[in-house]
Amino acid sequence: MTSRIFFTLRNQKAVDLKNTHMVNIPIALLSVALGHASIMPGVHWESFIHTQTIQETINTQANKSSGEQSMVYTENKVIIDKMYIRLVNNRAYILNNNATALHNLLNLNLNITRNLVNKWIYLPKSFHQYAQIVAGLSMATVVNELQMNGKVIKGKIATYNHQKAIPLSGSVPGSSIKQTVYLTDVKAPLPIAVVDQEGTNRSVTYFGPWKAAKIYTPLHYLVYSSHLK
């Protein structure tokens, strides 16, 4: 199971936090929390994804128009791939430690990508996978990925990740993934964590702090082109 937060994007409008007379209804409570999240300046989130043999750790800072992300893939406890992404003023930069992964991503000869390992590469908006690569760095992505459909059940207030939390359980739209979102137990709630489960595959994502962070352009980088050497 791949990270849904990394691969999708959709804008969300804020919910009026003053209109909270229906917050005891689970889906209304979730809407209030996502509305509050959508107006925050930024958020840090960390996701842990487990399948039978592969583990993926994604560490992200998402701001309104910038962000950075690291992804580490481990197979049988051995790191097989590391990728880093930065988005600054709509300019995307990537760094990867795996020549084969770069070969697949950039569509360049493997002999070339061996020389690009562990180097920052600037990707212009014209790059064919630009939108997919930067999707996970958006605040709107976080809001979108916490949507649920069908019946949403509100559980008992409990402590989760050292915080008093309200669990809301339901399904991910268009899939068989079962999802539980944990919200802070306050008047203007925010997501604390989300747990996705599909068969034996499981992912856990933790959110916070909900604030922006400065993202810097790499000091040294190469500019991508199909003729890069």
- CA proximity to 181, closest of 53, 172, 93, 173: 172
**What pLDDT, in 10s, does the model give residues 186-226?**
888 999 999 999 888 899 999 999 999 999 999 999 999 86
> Which residues 6+ apart lie within 8 Å of 78 measured at CB?
none
- So what's the pLDDT on residue 203? 92
Do the Cβ atoms of 179 and 169 come closer than 8 Å? yes
- CA proximity to 200, closest of 4, 46, 53: 53
Domain span including residue 91: 4-217
What's the domain count of the chain?
1
**What pLDDT, in 10s, does the model give residues 139-196?**
888 788 888 877 899 999 989 888 899 999 998 888 888 999 999 998 889 999 999 9
- So what's the pLDDT on residue 65? 84
Does residue 227 lie in a domain region? no
Does residue 82 lie in a domain region? yes
Does residue 13 lie in a domain region? yes
Does residue 126 lie in a domain region? yes
Do the Cβ atoms of 160 and 193 come closer than 8 Å? yes
Does residue 9 lie in a domain region? yes
Q: In the structure, what pLDDT confidence band is assigned to residue 14 with cuts at 50, 70 and 90?
A: very low
Rounded to the nearest 10 degrees, how much is the dihedral formed by the CA atoms of 61, 63, 67, 70?
Answer: 20
pLDDT at residue 229 above 90?
Answer: no
Do the Cβ atoms of 152 and 26 come closer than 8 Å? yes
**What pLDDT, in 10s, does the model give residues 87-97?**
998 899 999 99
Do the Cβ atoms of 30 and 157 come closer than 8 Å? no
What distance in Å separates the CA atoms of residue 229 and residue 227, rounded to the nearest whole number?
Answer: 6
Task: Take residue 155 and report the two structure tokens written for it.
Answer: 């559980």
The model's pTM is 0.82
Does residue 226 lie in a domain region? no
Does residue 37 lie in a domain region? yes
What distance in Å separates the CA atoms of residue 139 and residue 7, rounded to the nearest whole number?
Answer: 13
Q: The tokens 């360049």 sit on which residue?
A: 108
Q: In the structure, what pLDDT confidence band is assigned to residue 16 with cuts at 50, 70 and 90?
A: very low
Strand 222-223 versus strand 121-123 pairing type: parallel
Average pLDDT, the chain: 84
Does residue 114 lie in a domain region? yes
Q: Which of 19-23, 62-66, 70-74, 99-103 has the lowest mean pLDDT?
A: 19-23
pLDDT at residue 5 above 80?
Answer: no
**CATH code: domain of residue 151:** 2.50.20.20
Task: Take residue 63 and report the two structure tokens written for it.
Answer: 């701001």
- So what's the pLDDT on residue 119? 95
Q: The tokens 């893939």 sit on which residue?
A: 73
